């Protein structure tokens, strides 16, 4: 992975247990001679990715980063490991992002390090029928080790509207990415779950160039079914532009529940129209012969369903 310009050498040395001053005096070549190769890793603090390799095996390595909870002035060390076993990739992490976070969020629970482990199929295949997203599965894991968990457990008229809506057939499920939803997400479209697990609900606003890239966006993670997730920019016949979702807001007013105009506050406010945008029902498309999901500015933000079969390792643990 390409390391971001803001990653500091002092961070790398500190994480390996030696001061920057000592390394500077000794010289990098001398320092390297005393480092256990097993502890070597790639620092991805503020990394901007560029690789479009669609197979998870291309990213096998051990990574680290440093991140700060801005509002609480707490520093964290992030760790991610990607390894290959047979036809699967194992992605383990402590769920700490590779960038600062919570400058603008309203987290109910502070971030807490986790022991996350996912198994990603290295050679995914399209299923005969898509699999719907549910509260039982995490949706994906990004290459910085932070998971994607798109759906809210809150519906209008169920409890306080924020938790407890476990019936997937219940109407008026909130979209956490909607401006008026009030789920306390930060500047990276992420917040924490009750156990302190940091997770994204949409574009991480990190990992890939957000403005004026000169090429199509890279792979930024892998869905539970093994298909890659690309950033928002696609190459449309030599023109680099943002991909568009094929979901559009319904016209008119809601017939019941909260009433009011369809404005995107709820998942039910959107409808899929084949060919309306670039992407299919699950928010995916084929690029350079490779199928993958694509980040979008509007619903469903990253993916609306699984085009393949999600791996059981993404099934959520019971509290």
Q: Give the max Cα distance, the chain.
A: 72
Q: What is the pLDDT of residues 44-87, one digit of tens each?
A: 999 999 999 999 999 999 999 999 999 999 999 999 999 999 99
Q: What is the pLDDT of residues 118-144, one digit of tens each?
A: 999 999 999 999 999 999 999 999 999
Tokens of 143: 């290459």
Total residue count of the chain as it appears in this document: 319
In this predicted structure, the answer to whether residue 234 has a pLDDT above a threshold of 90 is yes
What span, in angstroms and rounded, lies between the C-alpha atoms of 214 and 87?
Answer: 33
What span, in angstroms and rounded, lies between the C-alpha atoms of 74 and 84?
Answer: 33
Using a 10 angstrom Cβ sphere, with 0-12 exposed, 13-18 middle and 19 or more buried, the burial of residue 184 is middle
CB 178 within 8 A of CB 152: no
Query: How much is the pTM?
Result: 0.87
């Amino acid at each position: 992975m390409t390391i971001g310009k803001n990653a500091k050498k002092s961070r790398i040395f500190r994480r390996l247990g030696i001061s920057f001053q000592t390394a500077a005096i000794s010289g990098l070549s001398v320092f390297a001679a005393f480092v256990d190769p097993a502890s070597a890793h790639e620092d991805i603090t503020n990394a901007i990715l560029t690789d479009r390799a669609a197979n998870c095996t291309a990213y096998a390595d051990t990574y680290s980063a440093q991140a700060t909870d801005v509002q609480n002035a707490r520093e964290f060390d992030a760790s991610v490991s990607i390894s290959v076993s047979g036809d699967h990739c194992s992605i383990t992490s402590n769920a700490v992002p590779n960038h600062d976070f919570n400058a603008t969020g309203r987290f109910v629970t502070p971030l807490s390090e986790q022991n996350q482990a996912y198994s990603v199929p290295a050679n995914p295949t399209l299923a005969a029928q898509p699999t719907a997203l549910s509260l039982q599965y995490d949706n994906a894991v990004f290459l910085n080790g932070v998971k994607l968990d798109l759906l809210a457990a809150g519906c209008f008229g169920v409890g306080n509207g924020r938790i407890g809506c476990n019936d997937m057939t219940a109407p008026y499920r909130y979209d956490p990415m909607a401006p008026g939803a009030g789920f306390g997400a930060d500047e990276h479209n992420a917040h924490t779950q009750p156990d302190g697990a940091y997770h994204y609900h949409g574009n991480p606003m990190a990992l890939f160039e957000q403005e004026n890239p000169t090429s199509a966006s890279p792979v930024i993670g892998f869905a539970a079914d093994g298909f890659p997730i690309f950033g928002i920019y696609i190459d449309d016949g030599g023109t680099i532009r943002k991909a568009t979702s094929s979901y559009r807001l319904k016209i008119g007013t809601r017939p019941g529940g909260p009433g009011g105009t369809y404005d995107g506050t709820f998942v039910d406010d959107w409808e899929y129209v084949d060919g309306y945008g670039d992407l299919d029902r699950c928010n995916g498309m084929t690029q350079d012969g490779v199928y993958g999901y694509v980040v979008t500015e509007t619903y469903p933000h990253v993916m609306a369903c699984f085009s393949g079969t999600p791996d059981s390792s993404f099934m959520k643990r019971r509290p």
